[in-house]
Structure 1
Amino acid sequence: MCSTQNDPDKTLSSLVSHNEKEMDLSRVNIHQTTSFDPSSNQQQSQNFYSDKNNIQAFGSQTVRIPSQQQQHYLTNNSQSSNVFFSPYQRLTPSNRFFNDYRHHSWNNSNNFNSMRKPRHSFENWLTTDEWDYDNDYGQRVRFETQLPKRKWTQVQLEQKFSHRNHFTFKLISFNVLSQDLLEANGYLYADCISEYLDWNYRKHVIIKQIVDHHADIVCLQEAQEDHYEKYFRVKLKEHGYESLFIKRSGGKPDGCALFYKTDRLQLIDHKLVPFHCPTIELLDRDNVGLVALFRPKTSRSSSDDAFCVASTHLLFSPKRGDIKLAQLQYFLAEIDRISIKDDNINVEPTYYPIILCGDFNCQPYSPLYQFLLDGYIQYNQYKRSEISGQILSNCYSLNLPSNELLPSYYVRSDCRFPTKTKTIDIIEQKTTNIVLDDENQDEIIEKKDCIQFSEYLDANNVDNPSAVLIHNKKFHSVYEHFNRSNIPEVTAHINHESHNMDFIFYTTGSSGQKTAAISTNEQQKTTINDRLYLLGRYNLYYQNQLRNVHLPNWQFGSDHFLLLAKFALKLQHV
């Protein structure tokens, strides 16, 4: 190792760590060989880089230290920091160095897709504005935007909801990106720094994102089973959470997890919901969901103060909107069963308030999205690729069928299960065409428990000739999806592309869904207690802010952004 020549070099060398694994997550370091060209004078730049006294070696890194007169371009948060900050992070238009700095003759690039590939096997990374250039040594230096801190948007004044009459709580929905899926689809993350793709780095960033918000409920998608058991479950238990988990079927490594604060919430009921059913064509995929019913742990709450939380991760395939719609139809039926409060056939059914969240793999205002908000869809007027809105047009895509999506003896077209009738009762009454003997009866009942459908059979249900689905929940979205300039919000940023596919929905009051072309028996009114209020949401980034951002990175541990909302639940007996 070379010895330092002067005090300024010692000062700067103290800022570079040979152990990047212990870096402060609130800052970013410089990787591999770092060369800095703060001067517009070419001769000065050459002298600077050729000065052997300005070279320090630390382990496998070589850091070129600027001369004393150039050090004002380098800034850091504290002398004890082991990282560099780029100059632009501290420079503003009012700064006397700003104009000199931004007019350097570097190859500016605002289009990230046009960036050149590195001419060597190593890259340098700084966190600053939107520039890309090749330095004197042929090294490609990429400048990646540091995103500003997200802020809260207050929807309603919290003072209106006194703590005596309302229970306030926060909910997170977060696709944390399964490590196995990341590695299996590495081409999507080719432009990310490999260090930030490592699970041993990502897990600390993800858990910090979660615990910093002190949410009462945390819904995770793509939670890998071994990471759930060995990390998420252990770490979040230290913060007072208990959890539920369902793994995807078919040997898939990940699933959905739900964590809740035990000192704030009591779990009343829950259902783990696999969507796979080998006997039904549109339910042949391995996606899952889970539904839970909670009650606040307060002295003023009663059994009437329950609310339902459901989380899912629907199929990704943009071309198979028919499968997504069928999965949602079945999931809504499971939500209906858990959230129903009073199902007397002589009166309108009443429901507890519902929060539905997750990765829906659809775009805002797509037919699938509108079905949740409107409670109605006539699906045979769409092609399969049009349902989720991920593909604008596909002339080769097939139309959805004109008959029922799912067999009506499993799930009705109003997204409710048929009248409960035990399978064994149906067998004994011989009301179906199923013929069983003693040898295969146990097998059928075992299969019933596995696929979780056959408990609900109704031989009197008929096909749905109008190709219409309805549901009796009135959902609203927590997020608005666009700003006033019509720039879309982003919930996922993958391989240079921004998407809005993660949502939090909540019910407000009674549903007024359309009922045209629906049989009289299916025109059901419903009452959802209007007791759930949205107080605020954690702002998302907009598409124009993510031009030079790659996820995961040092700042964010997943390729999805965390969604967070605050609600108030009005207590019944106060």
Structure 2
Amino acid sequence: MCSTQNDPDKTLSSLVSHNEKEMDLSRVNIHQTTSFDPSSNQQQSQNFYSDKNNIQAFGSQTVRIPSQQQQHYLTNNSQSSNVFFSPYQRLTPSNRFFNDYRHHSWNNSNNFNSMRKPRHSFENWLTTDEWDYDNDYGQRVRFETQLPKRKWTQVQLEQKFSHRNHFTFKLISFNVLSQDLLEANGYLYADCISEYLDWNYRKHVIIKQIVDHHADIVCLQEAQEDHYEKYFRVKLKEHGYESLFIKRSGGKPDGCALFYKTDRLQLIDHKLVPFHCPTIELLDRDNVGLVALFRPKTSRSSSDDAFCVASTHLLFSPKRGDIKLAQLQYFLAEIDRILIKDDNINVEPTYYPIILCGDFNCQPYSPLYQFLLDGYIQYNQYKRSEISGQILSNCYSLNLPSNELLPSYYVRSDCRFPTKTKTIDIIEQKTTNIVLDDENQDEIIEKKDCIQFSEYLDANNVDNPSAVLIHNKKFHSVYEHFNRSNIPEVTAHINHESHNMDFIFYTTGSSGQKTAAISTNEQQKTTINDRLYLLGRYNLYYQNQLRNVHLPNWQFGSDHFLLLAKFALKLQHV
């Protein structure tokens, strides 16, 4: 270990040669770990890694580091990157430079830095990634990538829907990360700056992310109950929102919240949906959801212009795809029950448009995801760990059962609740009923529905009808999940891993999916009005942009990114 005098210039001279002082090490992996003894006012330093192949000339700019603090920084002078690594850039420290070391503003607007107390030994520091740095006061400096501002992608021309017969609105879905869960799983955030993990910091960043977009509907997951009551509800009410909230069962601290602008929307009906049912094995977890039915507050709208918003947070466990599928089956049944527009038994049921959003804890194009889009899944073909797509298929896991997931007396395999006894005539042709005996209760199913279901199963060569789920909602995803280079979008970045587990789905009157499950209205005998249009989406970051990013940080208050979409609802009687 080499020893230097307490002089910044001499310290820097020990790092590079005289000629290299006029160079920018924009991505040089050169870290100086130092120990500083205030009593002796002496400093020791060591170069433990240097890559001089990355040295690039940048002119005559030199570094000026305040001698009083004896700080050494790594910044980046490159115009093409937001990653801060090189020590050779002029720095302008802010006021309260060292008394309050939470924020340091530099003369470059895109530079930001923070320091924190060390939590690891010197030996561990030597093995850390290149974005860690130890300053002279025994504090550790974290260098974060500053992500660019997200932009909108226009899906359809908004001018096309700006006529008086359309109602446009924006919707946010956002997992805000419960503080209790963050602290209970601190190992997931070991590389985050502890200052930005504090709720008193995070809450301001989160609320700013929400209100800056002026959304008409805001769906939050992992909203902690006390934070909802004391902060989210109060702050968002100042911006014209009213809200609904459901806490997870089993003494869990968080739940789902839904906020809506009272000057834009009228709440017609709602349903708080706890998934826990102690008598059913696959519904023994404490996840929840909520369903709300809204109508636009305009002089042109009528009672027929309602639409549904449903938000949920499914079980996380990657190995228990069977539970996630059962939770989704039950949630779709609750959505079905609240938003059937016309339950006249003599006509086909008609549904209001639906927006389904939340944290589904599954990957795009996984069996669980495809079930929402296709309206069909034969689940006994999969292992439990394969349903959500979060685990590679070669890991050990049990297969899903060949019988029904949820008892048919509780939720039917078409994701609807059992109907009451009905004997109806359609075009003077009377249909009979089939009574299925069950030790708990009788289930009445119309014979015509059974015929349609069996025909559908035969058409798809399904060996075991009881291992099939279907639904009649024609969902599409707001986001595309990959760019043209096949790089995935990211909705959550946790412990160095990027995930795409949050989604916004919406229904259309015609399905773009090539699937027999919802190919014709003749099979399902339901109609979903083609009245909801996606106008635009707020772009997500891609996986290759998130190197040297640790969430939450100064820029983002959660480990999930906010999802945002703009829709147009066609009014019926204009």
TM-score normalised by the chain length of structure 2: 0.73
Residues 81/112 of structure 1: CA separation in 2 closer, same or farther (3 Å cut): closer
Residues 133/460 of structure 1: CA separation in 2 closer, same or farther (3 Å cut): closer
Q: 1:340: Cα distance to partner?
A: 1.2
Residues 48/513 of structure 1: CA separation in 2 closer, same or farther (3 Å cut): closer
Cα deviations by residue, 1:535-556 (Å, 9 ceiling, x for unpaired): 1111111111111000001111
Partners of 2:2 and 2:45 within 8 A in 1: no
Q: 2: distance between equivalents of 1:206 and 1:170?
A: 18
- Which SS does the other structure have where 2:143 is aligned? strand
Q: 1:418: Cα distance to partner?
A: 1.1
Identify the residue that residue 29 of structure 2 maps to in structure 1.
Answer: 29
Q: 1: distance between equivalents of 2:25 and 2:206?
A: 11
Q: 1:449: Cα distance to partner?
A: 28
Partners of 2:34 and 2:138 within 8 A in 1: no
Residues 378/105 of structure 1: CA separation in 2 closer, same or farther (3 Å cut): same
Identify the residue that residue 446 of structure 2 maps to in structure 1.
Answer: 446
Q: 1:361: Cα distance to partner?
A: 0.1
Residues 100/62 of structure 1: CA separation in 2 closer, same or farther (3 Å cut): same
Residues 163/104 of structure 1: CA separation in 2 closer, same or farther (3 Å cut): closer
- Which SS does the other structure have where 1:123 is aligned? helix
Partners of 1:410 and 1:454 within 8 A in 2: no
- Which SS does the other structure have where 1:145 is aligned? coil
Residues 181/120 of structure 1: CA separation in 2 closer, same or farther (3 Å cut): closer
Residues 506/22 of structure 1: CA separation in 2 closer, same or farther (3 Å cut): farther
Partners of 2:24 and 2:57 within 8 A in 1: no
The 5 A counterparts of 1:335-414 are 335-414=335-414
Partners of 1:426 and 1:432 within 8 A in 2: no
Identify the residue that residue 291 of structure 1 maps to in structure 2.
Answer: 291
Cα deviations by residue, 1:97-134 (Å, 9 ceiling, x for unpaired): 99999999999999999999969779999999975555
Residues 508/9 of structure 1: CA separation in 2 closer, same or farther (3 Å cut): farther
Residues 349/21 of structure 1: CA separation in 2 closer, same or farther (3 Å cut): farther
Q: 1:318: Cα distance to partner?
A: 0.3
Q: 1:59: Cα distance to partner?
A: 37
Identity between Structure 1 and Structure 2 (%): 100
Deviates further, 505-514 or 440-449: 440-449
Partners of 2:63 and 2:90 within 8 A in 1: no
Residues 238/83 of structure 1: CA separation in 2 closer, same or farther (3 Å cut): farther
Q: 1:338: Cα distance to partner?
A: 1.4
Q: 2: distance between equivalents of 1:265 and 1:21?
A: 62
Q: 1:207: Cα distance to partner?
A: 0.5
Deviates further, 363-372 or 399-408: 399-408
1:548 paired with 2:548, answer yes
Residues 65/292 of structure 1: CA separation in 2 closer, same or farther (3 Å cut): same
Identify the residue that residue 417 of structure 2 maps to in structure 1.
Answer: 417
Residues 94/276 of structure 1: CA separation in 2 closer, same or farther (3 Å cut): closer
Q: 1:9: Cα distance to partner?
A: 16
Q: 1:461: Cα distance to partner?
A: 22
Q: 1:434: Cα distance to partner?
A: 19
Q: 1:144: Cα distance to partner?
A: 1.3
- Which SS does the other structure have where 2:110 is aligned? coil
Q: 2: distance between equivalents of 1:463 and 1:78?
A: 61
Q: 1:84: Cα distance to partner?
A: 13
Q: 1:77: Cα distance to partner?
A: 16
Identify the residue that residue 61 of structure 1 maps to in structure 2.
Answer: 61
Cα deviations by residue, 1:279-307 (Å, 9 ceiling, x for unpaired): 11100000000000000000000011100
Partners of 1:422 and 1:455 within 8 A in 2: no
Residues 49/9 of structure 1: CA separation in 2 closer, same or farther (3 Å cut): farther
Q: 2: distance between equivalents of 1:428 and 1:15?
A: 93
Partners of 2:75 and 2:84 within 8 A in 1: yes
Cα deviations by residue, 1:361-390 (Å, 9 ceiling, x for unpaired): 000000000000000000000000000000
Partners of 2:155 and 2:534 within 8 A in 1: yes
Cα deviations by residue, 1:201-239 (Å, 9 ceiling, x for unpaired): 111110010000000000000000111011100110010
Partners of 1:383 and 1:399 within 8 A in 2: yes
Q: 1:142: Cα distance to partner?
A: 3.4
Partners of 1:419 and 1:456 within 8 A in 2: no
Cα deviations by residue, 1:143-194 (Å, 9 ceiling, x for unpaired): 2111111111111110011241110000000000001100100010111111
Deviates further, 451-460 or 66-75: 451-460
Deviates further, 309-318 or 415-424: 415-424
Residues 58/477 of structure 1: CA separation in 2 closer, same or farther (3 Å cut): closer
Cα deviations by residue, 1:4-44 (Å, 9 ceiling, x for unpaired): 99999999999999999999999999999999999999999
- Which SS does the other structure have where 2:464 is aligned? coil
Q: 1: distance between equivalents of 2:10 and 2:539?
A: 42
Can you give the 5+ residue segments of structure 1 that lack an aligned partner in the other structure? none
